[in-house]
Every structure is written in C-alpha cells, then in structure tokens.
Amino acid sequence: MQVYRIPVLSDNYIFLLHDRDRHIAAVVDPAQAEPVLQQVRSLGAELTAIFNTHHHSDHVGGNQELIDRYPQLKVYGGAEDRGRIPGQQVFLRSGDRVNFAGRTAEIFFVPGHTKAHIAYYFPANNPGETGELFCGDTLFAGGCGRLFEGTPAQMVASLEQLRNLPDNTRVWCAHEYTLKNLQFAIGVDGDNPDLQRRLGEVKEARSRSQPTVPSSIGIEKKTNPFLRWDFPNLQSAANTHDSVQTFARLRGMKDRF
Ligand code: ZN
Ligand code: FE
C-alpha cells in the first residue's frame, strides 16, 4: 500500500492509498474532488473507497463529486456521523475492521474534536512495513484538534489509544499545523531537548515549503504536549497534578495562542 499526500486548500492534506497490484485506490478525507481525480488518473487506478474520519467540510467536501464519478465506490465513516457525511454507506464503530490493499485497518473511536470522530490504523503486516495511522483532526504533528463537540476527558482517552501504538507508526494527520503547534509547545515544555531539536527541524522544513507530515508516534510522544498530560513539566506548566486538567488547561492556552 503506497500512501500519497495531496496538499489542498490552505493547509489540508488528502491521503490517497494505492494498491498497485489491483490497480485500485482509496482516499482519506477528500476535502476536494479534482486533485484526487487527477492523482487517481495519473496512477491509472480506479477509486473504490472513501475513508472519512469526521464530518467537517474540509474532510468530506469532495465526497459527492467523487461518488458521481465512481458510483461503485464505498463511503466509510463513523457510526455516530450518520446523516453528516455525504454518501456514507458504512457506519464504523470501535474495533471494526476495514480491508484495503491486502492490509486491514482497525477502527478507533476517538471523540473529542467531534463526537463521532474515528481513526483508521493499518498495523504493519511484516517486518519491512510500518503501521499507518490516519487520524484526521484528532492528533496533529505537535498538537491536537480543537474540542468542538467533546470534553477534555474524552479527548485524553482518544489520544491515549493513539499514544499506545508502536513508536514507528506513521501519523498522517489532516493539516499542516506543525510549526504553529511547536511554537506553542516550546512555551510550555521549553526544557525538552527533543522538542527544541524538532522545532529547529520543522522551521527549516517549512522555510523550504516542505511538508512535516507524516510524523510518527515515537516523535509525538517525545514532543507533543497534548500526549504528555502525565509528565511533570507539562503538569507544572498547567499548574495542576491532574492529567485531564493538565490537558484541558493546555488546550485552553492553545486556543488563545
Ligand atoms: Zn475537523
Ligand atoms: Fe480539519
């Protein structure tokens, strides 16, 4: 399974999954249709699936046009998103599985950004592969999604599921927010040498307009303040010893950053 990253709008990424053997493709969160259609054509593939993480328009905006062009394709999304994702046919719950390109994705229910948000995790099948996580607007490189429909406790539980994945899992998040996220992070975890190094690398990459996605779970665990609610530095930055409270206060500070 080959993953292609398609930058659209001001800072969104669409991900196209390509099965070279079967000449088919699936798309994660098509904000727009045209860039997806172009990439699918250039691969000589047929689009067979849309994997949506949640209902926001910058994630489902291209659904209808893709369905019109490929009427056979299947649209997957979270069970709780029923009625909110255009063309949705498959209603996924925690623990469900979805097959593509000889790989099987596990579904994680990760409410917080929205009440219905799901993530798709393709574990590695064999030693040469890495796991691939498509987490929409739940976990970002250096940050996490805003809490539009969920509570801090829900988001911590959601992020904890992702934090438990193997360190080499690639994190394909839906936005290029990394630099701004790390500029916030350095203010609350400034003594963290891994974070200092990462901020330098990301500044350099962005100054050359290079993408910072995918990240990995290992990098996020070391540098993302929104996965570090139980670390002393972050708890003291949030002025509490409670993990959920730490997360909630950091998220509040980031909202105003
Ligand atoms: Zn969103
Ligand atoms: Fe988004």
Q: Which listed ligand is nearest to 150 at the C-alpha?
A: 1
Q: How large is the average pLDDT for residues 54-73?
A: 98
Q: How large is the average pLDDT for residues 118-122?
A: 98
Q: Which listed ligand is nearest to 10 at the C-alpha?
A: 2
Calculate how far, in angstroms, residue 207's C-alpha sits from the geometric centre of ligand 1. 26
Tokens 């500029």 -> residue: 183
Calculate how far, in angstroms, residue 155's C-alpha sits from the geometric centre of ligand 2. 16
Count of C-beta atoms within a 10 Å radius of residue 205: 14
Q: Which listed ligand is nearest to 112 at the C-alpha?
A: 1
- Tell me which residues are annotated as active site: 54, 56, 58-59, 113, 137, 175
- Using one digit for the tens of pLDDT, what is the confidence trace for 28-45? 999 999 999 999 999 999
Q: Which two tokens stand for residue 253?
A: 């500070």
Calculate how far, in angstroms, residue 165's C-alpha sits from the geometric centre of ligand 2. 22
Q: How large is the average pLDDT for residues 186-190?
A: 98
Calculate how far, in angstroms, residue 240's C-alpha sits from the geometric centre of ligand 1. 29
pTM (whole model) above 0.95: yes
Q: Is the pLDDT of residue 101 over 90?
A: yes
Distant-in-sequence contacts of 145-150, Cβ < 8 A, 24+ apart: 145/112, 145/113, 145/117, 146/113, 146/251, 146/255, 147/112, 147/113, 147/251, 148/113, 148/114, 149/111, 149/112, 149/113, 149/114, 149/115, 149/116, 150/111, 150/112, 150/113, 150/114, 150/115
Instruction: Give the pLDDT of residue 228.
Output: 98
Instruction: Match domain 2-255 to its CATH number in 2.40.100.10, 3.60.15.10, 3.40.50.970, 3.30.70.580.
Output: 3.60.15.10
Taking the C-alpha atoms of residue 228 and residue 246, their distance in angstroms, rounded to an integer, is: 9
Q: How large is the average pLDDT for residues 61-82?
A: 98
Residues with CB under 5 A from ligand 2 (ion): 58, 137
Taking the C-alpha atoms of residue 180 and residue 172, their distance in angstroms, rounded to an integer, is: 17
Q: Which listed ligand is nearest to 58 at the C-alpha?
A: 2
Q: pLDDT tier at 127 (50, 70, 90 boundaries)?
A: confident
Contact 56, 77 (CB under 8 A): no
Calculate how far, in angstroms, residue 60's C-alpha sits from the geometric centre of ligand 1. 10
Residue 232, classified by CB atoms within 10 Å of its CB into exposed (0-12), middle (13-18) or buried (19+), is exposed
Contact 130, 124 (CB under 8 A): yes
Calculate how far, in angstroms, residue 57's C-alpha sits from the geometric centre of ligand 1. 8
